Structures are given as structure tokens and as C-alpha cells.
Amino acid sequence: MNVPPGVVDGQRIRLAGQGGRGTGDAPAGDLYLRVRILPHPRFRLDGRNVHVHLPVAPWEAALGATVPVPTPGGTAKVTVPPGSSSGRRLRLRGEGMPNPRGPNGDFYAEIRVMVPPELTDRERELFEELGRTSSFDPRRER
């Protein structure tokens, strides 16, 4: 059996005439299957929308960048706007789950700014210089 495209979690699929035999000479009934979509280690499904975390370096988030993002169908390129913070969602319209009866879902890449776990001496110097020269205070209300 092939599962039709666009099936979502909890949806029922009807298989006409593939159920139990009828009594006497009655034809077989219909078989109904309830679809359950297992969680994926990378992607999260919300209705027809697909979500993924997108790790970016601090300089990519601050300056903007075009970065690869994994999708269920391969890899796409997204543009991280300058000044992006963790939690910002980038939307790829219509790139989520297909919908045979309407518009497809969307694909969302949620930015996660990642800091190097260990800094080289030069990286430490640059971050210290940035700390001394920047007036940015992430704890100040905007």
C-alpha cells in the first residue's frame, strides 16, 4: 500500500473492500487505517508546517549570511538577516508538508546562535575587543 502524499498525523485512510468478509455472500467491508507519524530526530512537524533548528555563528547572526539548511528533501539556502538573534524564524513558504486540498505547509528554520566551545587566542582577543567597544546590552529593555 502506498500512503498518499500530504497525509498528516491522526488522519484516516480508507481501503475500500479490504476489510473483513461480509456475512453470507456480502462483499468485504472497508479497512480504515489511522496514520501515526513518528518523531524525527531533526525535524518537528506542526500540522503541515515543518520546523528545524538552524545553528549559526555569532558573526553570521550579526552581519547576515547565506547558509545551508537541511530540509526533508535535501538542502536549501536561506538568508540570515543582519542582526538576527536566537529564536528568529526564517520561513520558506510552501516548503512544508504537501496538501492535496489546499496550500502546502511552510518550512521554518529557527536561528540558534552558537558560540565556539573553545576559543583560540585570537578569537578571545576579538571577543574581548568587541566587549570593550560595543555599547550593546542584551539585558536592557528595548
Phi, psi of 48 (to 5 degrees): -100, 0
- Give the global pTM: 0.81
Model confidence over 78-126: pLDDT tens digits? 999 999 999 999 999 999 998 888 899 999 999 999 999 999 999 999 9
Q: Are 35 and 10 in contact (CB under 8 A)?
A: yes
Give the integer Cα–Cα distance in Å for 86 and 110: 7
Give 39-116's CATH code, choosing from 3.40.50.2000, 3.50.50.60, 2.60.260.20, 2.60.34.10: 2.60.260.20
What are the start-end ranges of the E strands in the chain? 12-15, 31-34, 44-46, 49-56, 65-71, 74-80, 89-92, 107-113
Domain borders along the chain are 1-37, 39-116
Model confidence over 45-55: pLDDT tens digits? 998 999 999 99
